[in-house]
Structure 1
Amino acid sequence: MTTFGRDVYDDVIVGGGHNGLVAAAYLARAGRSVLVLERLGNTGGAAISSRPFVGVDARLSRYSYLVSLLPDKIVRDLELSFAVRRRTVSSYTPAERDGRPGGLLVGGGEERTRESFARLTGSDREYESWRAFYETTGRVARTVFPTLTEPLPTRAELRRRIDDEAAWRMLFEEPLGVAVERHFTDDLVRGVVLTDGLIGTFADAHDPSLAQNRCFLYHVIGGETGNWDVPVGGMGALTDALAAAAVKAGAEIVTGHEVLRIDTDGAAPAEVVFRTATGEGRVVGRTVLVNASPRALAELLGQTPAQDPATAPEGAQLKVNMLLRRLPRLRDTTVDPREAFGGTFHIAEGYTQLARAYAEAAAGELPSVPPSEIYCHSLADPTILGPELVEQGYQTLTLFGLHTPARLFGHDNQQAREVLLTATLAQLDAHLAEPLTDCLAFDADSRPCIEAKTPLDLERELRLPGGHIFHRDLSWPFADEGEEEGAGVGRWGVETAHRNVLLCGAGAVRGGGVSGVPGHNAAMAVLGR
């Protein structure tokens, strides 16, 4: 049994991912006694940097990649030594028109973007629609994003604050596909817009659940701009800074402690039962904050999670990390590969292609033309590579595949992973002037520097339920209908049926992504009592 600094803590935090560390830092800075129990041998959860390739000095953001939803408020409040860098290009989407390779480049200035739209579509109309569409989402972002670290508004309250009925209908009431088809005519442009609604979310453009709308909303409101930036030093730089801030404030953090059970009646201090390599132990917390999924929370409380497959969390992404000796040459010679890969490189993400991939996956088949997008973090932040690799021109590539739900990997995860990876890279190769494999680096054991993770891999390694990167489908950033006083989800969206147990993971209301928002809100719920 581990010996801690005290027998009873004000707050015990289950899980040392970024949200748990945010909560720990806020609570410890308020003078409370805080203990963080982490199952793994390191803190950070999915927001870590690691060297996945043997003998290669390249630190990749292995599971989570970019930063948009982390409020500056949290960075300032906790005095974090952490920074992000803006990518000079937002996105590049290769396309072949009239038998000639080309593409859509978004970024590098308004005129350059306008010219790229005109070359692709033959007029300025699509660009003007693009600008008007994102002016609308920008206005919504400037209203909604600040509310994420405030007490949870009601639906009616948020609607009043947005004060734009057309924007409200477009984002909150009609399926995203309606707005995409109303504003845009080009299939490629439609697909580029839709992708923000499909990150980690298995849904059709017209899904009546509006899961795609909720995902889209969180992807366009970050920082009040919707920009997705590269964390300097990799994602691990953020979680290392958070852990340091928590410890500096007085929190205790112990790794290798797997929490097995939380015993509580909701009123008296809770007993937290854990396991280490040497046996089981217990510690008492007046409040327990759980930085894990809602399903894991239910299990810790001795409840039986719902088993309905239709409502069970299910991830739907392929994650691929690569290290290249150099960036590949493109068939489209009008764009420099450093620009094309400097933003989000879209592959097979036309509107029709996305619809087909969804239909195939919904029917139980791996997409025949897998859609995905690629990021090259080392272009914006070469510090993640050792000096020798930088000098030799090495680059990292991170690929995020869409419409690959966990159900497709249950029969043979390894085989399905290999088939999907091969098909995905073939789609990329179709736009390259040379095979990607010709550019791959090799590790110290002479193996190519590429690794792929399916939803089942993420479930096994990180305990993400069903491999769902948000722990469950994203929520609206308000109290649902019938909860006009916030009673159903609590004042901060983190409360549970037990007054002294709070959910501070990505599955909280206003969770998902690397934001720290659930951790902040759980701490505010504690401090506000």
Structure 2
Amino acid sequence: MGAGAQRAAYDVVIVGGGHNGLTAAAYLSGAGLSVLVLERLGHTGGAAISTRAFPGLPARLSRYSYLVSLLPEQLARELDLPLELVSRRTASYSPTVRDGRHVGLLVEREEGEATRRSFAELTGGEQEHAAWQRFYAEVGDLARVVAPTLMAPLPTARGLREQVDPATWDAIVEQPLGRVVEERFADDLVRGVVATDALIGTFASLHDPSLVQNRCFLYHLIGNGTGEWKVPVGGMGAVTGALARTATVRGAEILTGAGVSAIRPGVGGDGAEVVWHDGEREHGVRADRVLSNVAPWVLRLLLEEEGTSADKPSGAQLKINFLLSRLPRLRSGHDPREAFAGTLHVAEEYSVLERSWAEAAAGQVPSTPPGEFYCHSLTDPSILGELADDGVHTLTYFGLHMPSELFASDRAGRRDEAVRKAIAAIDVHLAEPLEDCLLRGPDGRPCLEAKVPQDVEDDLAMPGGHIFHGDLEWPWAGDRQALDTAAQQWGVATDHEDVLLCGSGARRGGAVSGLGGHNAAQAVLAER
């Protein structure tokens, strides 16, 4: 990773060294093409990095993205990635208060008697658990149809619809998700646990007619046909580190500290010029194809096209990283090593999700913010370094319904308010305040780092701090969608023949999957 390109022209120049750009580079260089990756930051990885977030302490946290589901096992095999993705022993635990009692809903990763008993104790019968099993069996059938298509040219909606039960297709693809959740489930907490997958990184009511929440829900449940979310051993940086090494070994050239300022396509498919700056001087390089691993909104600016604030994406999350001296005890009495091992849902009852969306849409930080906690060190203690034997744990919080507009006029003040409310929401369920469990660094400060959408935009140049680079699309083509070119067939086309999408803004982008990079690479290879 040097300061200057080794040649004046390449077969492919990739703008952005996040995981998708590295995936594309690995495939294309492995096929014998000359590839240059230009990354603005001083390191590759984008949002998928491991960082020592707290000075003087060795723990390496997955600072932004934090779990892996959509990365196909086929992709990892094809690139021979030395990755270890580990299952969490708990799927989820959701504490709540019923009739003055602190209780919770436990869902095992492999559901068994403990899950059935937890549903019965919460709801007073067997009906909700049976409804849960039926619903997720149907979603699983849909996932097993969709997942194998993600590394192939886009299927059509009609082609997939013919392989799925019509009632399932209607419930997930045609109707607002809130409708099926309310029809299938009666318990407020069970409804919320189902619905939350529709809102990770997506600001919407569950009844939004655009169905953006349905698309988010589908992506969270189709990974490798199972929808299981796993912990990468070594943190998210292990994923991008493996991709960078593979790309480099195969011959790709990677330049960091290379801020791209312009992409200038030729006329009639005559390649493109990419202009970039290394901090001292400007450089230009030619490419037959340019792959954009930046958000489509940013790409328009690089293409020197008009982009307005009105169409700029808007993220909607609060991310907090903690280091704990110990795991907090739960008022329900549930073992924290089991409860925190999966996804711990806080204030994610269905009614709270909808109320919080309404409050945020009205410009208020939600009164009781819904969010999720993850303790990755219970699954992968290696990320703690020499702290692993001291009872220390990492804790990650992902808060929902925190649109960037909330923080526009007073980022620091509103961020502090959101953090206070998020901690207060979990403290309701803890036998000891979370802040009492925070580890303090050598400087005496508590180990807490919070990021609102504006912070994510500043750190990673993701417009609006939107973690998907914009609203997710269905991972298939519409029945009337043009599929004339390889780029269109792979879901990576732009208005310029020589410029393709390869990031989260591609048709099947979003999350840490490598799909945008893989599919852009396949489109390039199909044209040769």
Normalized against structure 2, the TM-score is what? Answer: 0.97
* CA contact 1:316–1:405 (8 Å) conserved in 2: yes
Return closer, same or farther for 1:106/1:29 CA change in 2, 3 Å cut-off: same
Please show how residues 52-201 of structure 1 align to structure 2 within 5 Å.
Answer: 52-107=53-108, 109-160=111-162, 162-201=163-202
SS state of the match for residue 353, structure 1?
Answer: helix
Return closer, same or farther for 1:359/1:322 CA change in 2, 3 Å cut-off: same
What is the match of residue 26 of structure 1? 27
Query: Is 2:363 the counterpart of 1:361?
Result: no
Return closer, same or farther for 1:234/1:357 CA change in 2, 3 Å cut-off: same
Q: Which residue identity is paired with 1:280?
A: E
Q: Which residue identity is paired with 1:524?
A: Q
Query: Is 2:318 the counterpart of 1:318?
Result: yes
Q: How big is the shift at 1:312?
A: 3.1
Q: Can you list the C-alpha shifts for 1:32-60, whole angstroms capped at 9, x where unaligned?
A: 00000000000000000000000001000
Q: Counterparts of 2:479 and 2:486 in 1: how far apart (Å)?
A: 10
Q: Counterparts of 2:164 and 2:395 in 1: how far apart (Å)?
A: 41
Q: Counterparts of 2:486 and 2:405 in 1: how far apart (Å)?
A: 31
What is the match of residue 329 of structure 1? 329
Q: Counterparts of 1:465 and 1:522 in 2: how far apart (Å)?
A: 21
Please show how residues 400-439 of structure 1 align to structure 2 within 5 Å.
Answer: 400-439=398-437
Q: Which residue identity is paired with 1:271?
A: E
What is the match of residue 502 of structure 1? 500
Q: Counterparts of 2:328 and 2:412 in 1: how far apart (Å)?
A: 27
Of all paired residues, the percent bearing the same amino acid is 56
Q: How big is the shift at 1:277?
A: 1.5
Q: How big is the shift at 1:482?
A: 3.1
* CA contact 1:154–1:485 (8 Å) conserved in 2: no
Please show how residues 96-495 of structure 1 align to structure 2 within 5 Å.
Answer: 96-107=97-108, 109-160=111-162, 162-266=163-267, 267-308=269-310, 311-333=311-333, 335-387=334-386, 389-483=387-481, 485=483, 490-495=488-493
Q: Can you list the C-alpha shifts for 1:243-264, whole angstroms capped at 9, x where unaligned?
A: 0000000000010000000111
Q: Counterparts of 1:79 and 1:93 in 2: how far apart (Å)?
A: 37
Q: Counterparts of 2:242 and 2:485 in 1: how far apart (Å)?
A: 35
* CA contact 1:58–1:384 (8 Å) conserved in 2: yes
Query: Is 2:36 the counterpart of 1:38?
Result: no
SS state of the match for residue 149, structure 1?
Answer: coil
Q: Counterparts of 2:270 and 2:119 in 1: how far apart (Å)?
A: 62
SS state of the match for residue 386, structure 1?
Answer: helix
Q: Counterparts of 1:238 and 1:207 in 2: how far apart (Å)?
A: 34
Q: Which residue identity is paired with 1:235?
A: M
Query: Is 2:512 the counterpart of 1:511?
Result: no
Return closer, same or farther for 1:416/1:147 CA change in 2, 3 Å cut-off: same
Q: How big is the shift at 1:12?
A: 0.4
Count residues with an aligned counterpart: 524
Q: How big is the shift at 1:484?
A: 5.7
* CA contact 1:152–1:486 (8 Å) conserved in 2: no
Q: How big is the shift at 1:2?
A: 4.9
* CA contact 2:272–2:290 (8 Å) conserved in 1: yes
Return closer, same or farther for 1:119/1:3 CA change in 2, 3 Å cut-off: closer
Q: How big is the shift at 1:480?
A: 2.7
Q: Counterparts of 2:240 and 2:219 in 1: how far apart (Å)?
A: 21
* CA contact 1:154–1:484 (8 Å) conserved in 2: no
CA RMSD of aligned residues (A): 1.3
* CA contact 2:315–2:466 (8 Å) conserved in 1: yes
Q: Counterparts of 1:132 and 1:64 in 2: how far apart (Å)?
A: 31
What is the match of residue 17 of structure 1? 18
Q: Counterparts of 1:307 and 1:255 in 2: how far apart (Å)?
A: 28
Moved more, 45-54 or 274-283: 274-283
Please show how residues 513-528 of structure 1 align to structure 2 within 5 Å.
Answer: 513-528=511-526
SS state of the match for residue 452, structure 1?
Answer: strand
* CA contact 2:142–2:164 (8 Å) conserved in 1: no
Q: How big is the shift at 1:279?
A: 1.1
* CA contact 1:23–1:522 (8 Å) conserved in 2: yes
Q: Counterparts of 2:287 and 2:442 in 1: how far apart (Å)?
A: 46
Q: Can you list the C-alpha shifts for 1:441-478, whole angstroms capped at 9, x where unaligned?
A: 01121110000000111111111111100000000111
Q: Can you list the C-alpha shifts for 1:276-321, whole angstroms capped at 9, x where unaligned?
A: 111111111111101000011111111112443xx43110000000
* CA contact 1:154–1:486 (8 Å) conserved in 2: no
Q: Counterparts of 2:313 and 2:281 in 1: how far apart (Å)?
A: 31
Return closer, same or farther for 1:5/1:488 CA change in 2, 3 Å cut-off: closer
* CA contact 1:117–1:124 (8 Å) conserved in 2: yes
Q: Counterparts of 2:256 and 2:486 in 1: how far apart (Å)?
A: 34
* CA contact 2:95–2:429 (8 Å) conserved in 1: yes
* CA contact 1:2–1:281 (8 Å) conserved in 2: no
Q: How big is the shift at 1:489?
A: 7.3
SS state of the match for residue 220, structure 1?
Answer: coil
Q: Which runs of 5+ in 2 are unaligned?
A: none
* CA contact 2:297–2:312 (8 Å) conserved in 1: no
Q: How big is the shift at 1:428?
A: 0.5
Q: Counterparts of 2:434 and 2:61 in 1: how far apart (Å)?
A: 19
SS state of the match for residue 6, structure 1?
Answer: coil
Q: Counterparts of 1:81 and 1:26 in 2: how far apart (Å)?
A: 16
Q: Counterparts of 1:331 and 1:21 in 2: how far apart (Å)?
A: 45
Q: Can you list the C-alpha shifts for 1:182-216, whole angstroms capped at 9, x where unaligned?
A: 11000000000000000000000100000000000
* CA contact 2:188–2:349 (8 Å) conserved in 1: yes
Q: Counterparts of 2:401 and 2:183 in 1: how far apart (Å)?
A: 24
SS state of the match for residue 219, structure 2?
Answer: helix
Q: Which residue identity is paired with 1:291?
A: N
* CA contact 2:145–2:164 (8 Å) conserved in 1: no
SS state of the match for residue 352, structure 2?
Answer: helix
Q: Counterparts of 2:231 and 2:391 in 1: how far apart (Å)?
A: 19
Q: How big is the shift at 1:437?
A: 0.8
Q: Which residue identity is paired with 2:351?
A: T
